[in-house]
Structures are given as C-alpha cells and as structure tokens.
Amino acid sequence: MGSHRTRDGRKISADPDHLAQPLWHARHRGEPRQRLLQAWDLLAGAAADIVALALPVECVCCGKEDLALCAGCERRLRMLTRHPFRAETGAPALMDTDGSVILPVVAAGIYREELSQSILAFKRHGQGQLRTVLSKVLASALAAAYAGTDAMVLIPVPSSGSAYRKRGFSPVHLLLAGVRRRFHGPRPEYKDALRKVRNRGTGIGLTENGLSGGQKGLGRGDRSRRVRGSMRTARGARGRSLRGKECIIVDDVLTTGATLAEAARAIHEAGGIVRGAVVLAAARAPAAAIGPAQSRYPGDYLGHS
C-alpha cells in the first residue's frame, strides 16, 4: 500500500478505505425526532387508509384482484345494457288507471347482476373506474332517448341532504358531468335546476304520516307521500331558465316512479316541458322489455310519445 505525507508531515495511507471516516449521527426513519415528521407520518398513514377505501383493489362484482371492475364483469355489464328499453310500465306512479303513460322512461338495463352491483358500489364510494363505465352506460341510454328529437335539457334528480352528507357527492350529477362529451352529435344542455326541500307541512325528514328515513322497502303509497312536495326548482336565473325548455329528467334507479313524478311536477311548475326521463336501471322489468326496434309507443323514445 502506498502512502503520502500531508503538508504538516503526517503520514497517511493512499487507500481511501483506510482513511478515517467522518462521524455522522444515526438517523432512524421509523422514529423521527421532530414533531413535524411525526405528524407527516400520521397524515401519510391516514391518506393511505383513505385511498384503500376509495380505490378498492378487487372487482366489485366477482372479487377479482387489482381492478374495481374486471374485464369480464365489464363485458357482462355492457351486455346487460346493450338495448335500452321503455320502462314506465313497471313503475305504478308513472301509469294512469286507464293504462295510459303519465311519464315515459328509458332505462339502460334491469337492476340486476353486474349492473346493480356496480351502481351500489359507485353510490357508496364513487370509484373513478365505475364512474367511467356507468357514464358510458348512461350516455348510451340518453342517446337512444335523445335520438331524433330537438334540443333537450338534461336535469338530474338531486340527492337528499342526508345522502349527500353521507356520501360527499351526488351520484347522478357525477355521472352527468362526463356524459355530455360522449355525444357525437349536438350535445344536450345540462342544468342543475332541482333542489330537495322540506316536505310541505311536515318536519325535516318526516312525511305527513310520520315516516322517516330512506325509501327502501316502502310501497307505492308510502313512497308517493314521502316525496310529495319534496322538490322545487332552483331560485333565481337557474330556475327561471327552464321556462319553455324541453327537458329530460335523469336518475339512477327507477322503482315506483314516485321520485320522477315529483321531479316532473317541480319542472312543470317552473314552466318547463318534461318529455320523459332516463335512468341507469329499472328495478322492475316492464310487462314486455322492449328495445329500440320494438317500441310499443308512437315514435321511438321520449321525443314523440
């Protein structure tokens, strides 16, 4: 090993491995000394937990890992929604006693299997991948209902205040935000014009017969009483802009039709012209599920009923 001397005459080794190394204080990442680093560790852990909840790593339908909706389940969902159909005959609140249609509705599919599971998972967590897939489904149903008609205004059914606070978002509004750009022709106008309000003459969260909570499990009469007077149009220019406009109401799931009927009432009161509604899924199949080529009504869909 060679060596050399410094200017002051000290003899040192030329091999850097033999040189004395400076002393450094040991730093352990797992036990940060500073409070700022400790707080950062806590925030990072919390953020990881939130991401794990919001972005599941398994298919919501079959449980396959790494995808919110695997390719196979997405393909089956597309098959379930490939033929939008008129669904109002399965909704008692939208049919008159003589069998005539009060409000026509186009559904993308029947609320079952991959479609129902995807809608439920989206409403609970709003995952990005499910939003993209369901926006495509809704856009196809809207395109079928919108075909051959004049310009329409799309009006989403609002979430209740309690549902919005629980989820942090409105599912229908979130889906419609990405729907309009999927239209190849003229894009329909979009107006966030409806608001949920306290039922007239009742307390918040209660109907005139004392019912409270959600609508799940309620019959036609109870649903109708719960939603009666529960919507109005937005105040100011946003509500007045509906006057004379032809409108299509948009919702996620059709059950008895009471919610859509109430939305239509509020729009009519504001001077709008309701041509019909479009939903992602119908909870009940109509007497005969009818596709675009087999409509039992004059005209194909909503514009000429």
- Residue 241 and residue 228: Cα distance in Å, rounded? 23
Token pair listed for 187: 């894009």
Task: Give the tens place of pLDDT for each residue, 59-94.
Answer: 889 888 878 889 999 999 999 999 999 999 999 999
Token pair listed for 107: 């559904």
Is 50 exceeded by the pLDDT of residue 41? yes
Token pair listed for 222: 């109870």
**142/299: higher pLDDT:** 142
pLDDT band at 114 (very low <50, low <70, confident <90, very high): very high
Average pLDDT in the 34-52 region?
Answer: 62
Residue matched to tokens 């004059």? 298
Quote the pTM value: 0.69
Task: Give the tens place of pLDDT for each residue, 144-162.
Answer: 887 766 678 999 999 888 8
How many residues belong to the chain? 305
Core vs surface per residue 129-157: b (16+ CB within 10 A) or e? bbbebbbbbbbbbbbbbbeebeebbbbbb
pLDDT band at 287 (very low <50, low <70, confident <90, very high): low
Q: Which of 15-24, 77-86, 199-208 has the highest mean pLDDT?
A: 77-86
Q: Of 69-73, 101-105, 289-293, which range is least confident?
A: 289-293
Start-to-end CA span in the chain (Å): 99
- Residue 168 and residue 164: Cα distance in Å, rounded? 5
Question: CB neighbours (10 Å) of residue 219?
Answer: 9
For the chain, domains (ranges, CATH) are 82-294 (3.40.50)
Token pair listed for 31: 């036990």
Q: How wide is the angle at C-alpha 252 spanned by C-alphas 117 and 53, nearest 5°?
A: 45
Mean pLDDT of all residues belonging to the chain: 75
